[in-house]
Structure 1
């Protein structure tokens, strides 16, 4: 902390740039070579180590030299500090001589400065603690809401799966009166329905566990050569019951020469499932969802999932990828506002991008990119 035990104190504020050490050396050497009534004290302050001092003196840039004496304070900034010192030096010496003969002039109270900087430091600490407290309360509130929604939302798929299993059990009970009326196709349909509901439960639990660990938890990515067309077909097949119930059509449009990608199959499946599930959810009954892919560059493949739902307001399109953010219309919908945030993290972990194009009342198209998997000299590489 700077003190004013000498008539003239110079505070030189710097940052951690490589050139700072050389600037300090030049300024110190220049001041030592100047004629002085009373030699000044030069104190070097790194703003990253004492930010409250930088705040106290309202610094904007570095390097900055602040002259402090009983006559007052003066600030010199810019790349030509040495030439500015030369310009002001004789006047500073005159001030020192005048101060020596007339102590009635206004003095700078060192204790006051120390107290002022300490108050600023304490104020910063209080502000930081308030932020931490607000973040902790927000996390607790979010987890409480997640638990409440989980208890509510799990009832639907659990009930549907239970009904399917109980119906199957009745069909294979030799003493049940309806056993003889069971057809093979009904058995297959019930099994598919139970499987779909169980997958829905599994996806909910996965999202909840992801949220419980917070957005900073590390994603484990195990990339390998992957066919997007085959993966998309798998996801479409897993959602067949839901699509059929809404009388919708999912159209897959991918070129035959689409290259393989280098990606984690399980994580990319989560992205496609989340985006496709949203598209089906918001597309009206009897509507169409389109999945397309193109070889965007020699290094990237782009996948797009288009719906004909209500669209997303322009001012909300950037925020929908935030953790737990939900549009007002979605507050009564199933889900937790975690899906798109998770998609963003997965795509970024593959060094890709994800974004949305949307027009209100005309639908939305979500796009994401993945790296191409190529072969060179019979050796497989990621580009």
Structure 2
């Protein structure tokens, strides 16, 4: 079109040159009418030729540009068909559009609508482009223009058009930081799902370029929408599968706990009946021997000792049940005083002396004496350590080794690790062993003996230990390579305690 106008201007100038000669004719000399007419005819013949030349050149340029566009579009559709994620779609769209227009900056802006607020997430492709999201209000003039007009918006219009005067300062600053020249909406149905953003182009953006960009944006919008739906469905499917897996694990966990509770009823009745039977038997024996006058002081002393032992076992079991119930309702009360963990552990080992001698276990203490003083409930913490050490004694064969090691983690915490050379624990039971009533061994292997190898118990000891340690603001967990009664991989119980109790529980 520009070349055509130049040709017309050339023709007008030539006609003027003919009509009004620029040379200085001799005095009284006037160009003849025939000469003027001849030159005018020549100019009239020259104009169509010039127009034809211009038209041919313009047609060839459009044909060449059209062939280049077709080549780019074919490559684009091939890349779009192979895209499997949003970033690949952005790469194909922006690079194709930039190549057609000569732009050196470009990005795809994803649009997410949440409660009448839009978030624009840039996916940079060409140039150094900020990646920060921009929250835009639903009544943003910029977004409204893209949605309603469904046509490209130039940044120059945003800066000068009064229609955009209501834009928020943050929104305007964000668009300025992007440094794009044109924004092309991507509409799927009636929803704005993306924006093609391109920087300055050397040739500018004419009607042909804008029409092509709109076509690219609309074709990509459909693909992008389907890809987003597919991605959302995959994410939803993954969430459903994760929830199903969690439900299965929770169901298995509940089944194990329910089985443990059922075992507890059997075990607890046995634990309660045994000392009661012993007490009842000794009472009957005392009565019979008293009636026959056969009681001697030594016999009375032995019977009383055995009765006391049975009563003590019964008392311990009832106390454990009460402690477990207090822990479950978070009603455990602690009385704090300053002591050392070495003193607490020695109190525990003194109680375990008989079991240690009976099972011929070797106890080793490392680094315990180097630990700083702590403020704890001595009685409760001793109970917790005794339960953990007692568990190690039960599941370590005769002659095994139990190691107590300590270290300071930081200025506020210490760690005690109780390691044994026992049968180990299945990895899927490392958390369950701290549940109320749960026991790693089967109920059929239950024994009343508190320290008999693999004898088990009512399933309250580790639960109480966990409750007491957590009430102190600490943590306890178990580690083991697995259960193997032949190779004896052993287990490690880690106990982390703060030097000072939590402020909410500091009662002393």
Q: Deviations over 1:157-187 (max 9, x none)?
A: 2243224423542465332666425153663
- The structure 2 residue matched to 1:69, chosen from 152, 164, 187, is 187
Mapped to 2, the partners of 1:247 and 1:163 lie a distance apart of: 30
Structure 1 or 2, whichever has the larger Rg, is: 2
TM-score by length of 1: 0.56
Change (3 A) 1:195 1:240: farther
More helix by share: 2
Question: 1:23: Cα distance to partner?
Answer: 1.8
- Say whether 1:203 aligns with 2:320: yes
Tell me whether 1:188 sits opposite 2:299 in the alignment.
no
| Inter-partner Cα distance in structure 2 for 1:279 and 1:155 | 25
Q: In the TM superposition, what is the alpha-carbon distance from 1:344 to its structure 2 partner?
A: 5.1
Aligned length in residues = 323
Distance change in 2, residues 1:329/1:117 (3 Å): closer
Are positions 1:323 and 2:432 aligned together? Answer: yes
- Secondary structure (helix, strand or coil) at the match of 2:313 reads helix
Q: Could you tell me which of 268, 272, 280 is aligned with 1:158? A: 272
CA 1:299–1:126: 2 relative to 1, 3 Å: closer
The answer on 1:175 being equivalent to 2:291 is: yes
Any conservation in 1 of the 2:152–2:210 contact (CA below 8 Å)? no
1:107/1:311 CA distance change after superposition, 3 Å: closer
Question: 1-side partners of 2:362 and 2:306: how far apart?
Answer: 19
Aligned mates of 1:290, 1:33 — CA distance in 2: 74
Which range moved further: 135-144 or 147-156? 135-144
Q: What residue number does 1:225 align with?
A: 337
Query: Which residue does the alignment assign to 2:393?
Result: 280
Structure 2 CA distance for partners of 1:87 and 1:328, relative to 1, 3 Å: farther
Matches of 1:345 and 1:337, distance apart in 2:
14
Task: Give the alignment's Cα RMSD to 1 decimal.
Answer: 5.9
Deviations 1:199-222 (A, max 9, x none): 145435655786xx5xxx657564
Is the contact made by 1:302 and 1:367 (CA closer than 8 Å) also made in structure 2? Answer: yes
Bigger mean CA deviation after superposition, 85-94 or 242-251: 85-94
Match of 1:260 in 2: 373
Query: Equivalent residue of 1:309, what SS?
Result: coil
1:179–1:147 distance in 2 versus 1, CA, 3 Å: farther
Indicate conservation of the 8 Å contact 2:152/2:184, yes or no: no
SS at match of 2:387: helix
When residues 178 and 207 of structure 1 are mapped into structure 2, their CA distance, relative to the original with a 3 A threshold, is farther
d(CA) in 1 for partners of 2:184 and 2:285?
Answer: 89
* Closer/same/farther in 2, CA of residues 232 and 175 from structure 1, 3 Å limit: farther
Listed one character per residue, the Cα deviations across residues 233-290 of structure 1 (whole Å, up to 9, x for unaligned) are: 4444555565555455667778667543123446534531331121110222354545
Structure 2 residue aligned with 1:370: 497
Separation in structure 2 between the aligned mates of residue 141 and residue 358 of structure 1, nearest angstrom: 23
Q: Higher relative contact order at CA 8 Å, sep ≥6: structure 1 or structure 2? A: 1
Residue 182 of structure 1: SS of its match in structure 2? helix
Contact residue 193 and residue 221 of structure 2 kept, 8 A: no
Q: Distance in 1 between matches of 2:300 and 2:362?
A: 27
Residues 11, 67 of structure 1: 8 Å contact kept? no
2:262 aligned residue (135, 148, 154):
148
Determine the C-alpha separation between the residues in 1 that align with 2:371 and 2:302.
Answer: 36
Matched with 2:134 is 23
